[in-house]
Copies of this chain bind each other. A is one copy, B any other.
Amino acid sequence: MSDSVSEMALDQLFREARTFNAWSPQEVTDEQLHQLYALAKFGPTSANASPMRVVFVKSEEAKARLAPHLSDGNRAKTMEAPVTAIIGTDHEFYERLPQLFPHADARSWFVGNQPLIDTTAFRNASLQGAYVLMAARALGLDCGPMSGFDQAGVDAAFFAGTAVKSNFLIAIGYGDGSRNLFPRSPRLSFDEACRIA
């Protein structure tokens, strides 16, 4: 049982965090990306299956490979971001279960049941993408998540020969709030989205 984190942390993680569309040139170091994953990996997944695979697109060469597959509205800002994480979904995640869930034969729960494999992979890789986003914010980084891209093109460019499919993208860096930061859009009220039964 814990207390709430500080009001400042709640602001940083949720209330004041924004989706940025312009980026300061300040670098994100490889060490920061390792720190980010060292937090995000602890987020829970079904049977600890951990189906997320990530490519952190950072070099000019890798950015050039990503660029043609981005929607027109996402291209310029993504090239400006110091790093863009391609959050991928491994549809053969179950091959890792003997390592990740060693106390039961969890692999056998999935093999041969493709709908269960695909649903579990997509749900849990999406959860893990959210953990990456929250971990980045916790470390003081800003994010710009995007799903406007050609999935097949990104898969061919970054995941060829694997069972990994791109899920969504997260630009990561230090947001420049002076450019293209839109007013926050409205959210659904509690009563519009939730009920207590």
Task: Give the interface of A toward B (CB within 8 A).
Answer: 1-6, 8-10, 12-15, 17, 19, 24, 26, 30, 33-34, 37-44, 46, 48, 50, 52-59, 61-62, 65, 96, 99-103, 120, 122-123, 126-127, 129-131, 133-135, 138-140, 142-143, 145, 147, 158, 167-168, 174-175, 182, 185-188, 190, 193-197
Contact = CB atoms under 8 A, between A and B. Distances in A.
Nearest to A54: B194
A9 B143 contact: no
Contacts of A54: 193-195
A193 B56 contact: no
Given A12-B5, A50-B187, A56-B196, A17 B42 contact: yes
A14 B33 contact: no
Q: Indicate how many identical chains form the complex.
A: 2
Contact of A138 (B14, B46, B188, B190): B14
Nearest to A42: B14
Nearest to A147: B46
A167 to B, nearest CB: 7
Contacts of A182: 103
- Interface core residue of A122, A130, A158 (most chain B CB under 10 Å): A130
B140 A3 contact: yes
A90 to B, nearest CB: 9
A25 to B, nearest CB: 12
Contacts of A15: 39, 42
A147 B117 CA distance: 13
A30 B185 contact: no
Given A56-B194, A123-B122, A186 B138 contact: no
